[in-house]
Amino acid sequence: MNTSPTEPSSRLAPSLITTLGMTATVGTALAFEHIGGYIPCALCLMQRDPYYYGIPLGIVAVLNALFRGPAWVTRALLVIVGILMLVGAGIGVYHAGAEWHFWEGPSTCATTAQGVSSNVGDLLGDLDSKHGPSCTEAALRVLGLSFAGWNVIASVILAAIALRGAARR
């Protein structure tokens, strides 16, 4: 329990850092997609799900800590967010391993190919030239890591922050 009514919760910082980190991570992925033109594969899209579920929970955790709600609520939300980030890291490890050919990727990795023309005359040409991305080929590597590899790092860091924040007294 806080000793002062004006003292912020000890879980405010981890809640805020985790929520902002999740937002920045998925925001970066969306920027690479919509600004950079990288079409995500099915596993890339699946890796975003823990963020999409975790961000609203993180916002609730921040608000609960900010308004000095019950500590167990913030703690429980941080645990759930931490688990979601670990799930995201697991999906990322699977995806990165498939990209490095350590194991087989999914038998189908279909997403819609963006940029297919609505002009009937160009449609046949587009169908031949536009292909959905492969789950087993990295679209880009930065410092030797694909998007999936960077997601693993981000997810593990965010999980550690959330779970450590939940464990605080």
Position 83 scores a pLDDT of: 97
Question: Which residues does 8 contact at the CB level (< 8 Å), separation at least 6?
Answer: 2, 65, 66, 68
Position 118 scores a pLDDT of: 56
Average pLDDT, the chain: 80
Question: Which residues does 43 contact at the CB level (< 8 Å), separation at least 6?
Answer: 91, 94, 95, 98, 105, 106, 109, 135, 148
Position 9 scores a pLDDT of: 64
CA distance 62 to 11: 8
**Is the whole model's pTM more than 0.85, yes or no?**
no
pLDDT digits (tens, 9 = 90+) for 100-119: 778 877 777 655 545 544 55
Q: Evaluate if residue 161 carries a pLDDT over 90.
A: yes
The token pair at 133 is 């991305």
Q: 């919509």: which residue's tokens?
A: 34
CA distance 157 to 82: 10
The token pair at 103 is 């194991």
Position 125 scores a pLDDT of: 58
Q: Evaluate if residue 163 carries a pLDDT over 70.
A: yes
CB distance 38 to 107 below 8 Å: no
The token pair at 11 is 């879980």
Q: How confident is the model at residue 71 (pLDDT cuts 50, 70, 90)?
A: confident
Position 20 scores a pLDDT of: 95
When pLDDT is averaged across residues 147-155 and rounded to a whole number, the result is: 90
Position 146 scores a pLDDT of: 82
pLDDT digits (tens, 9 = 90+) for 9-62: 677 888 999 999 999 999 988 888 888 777 888 888 889 999 999 999 999 999
| Distance from chain centroid for Cα 40 | 13
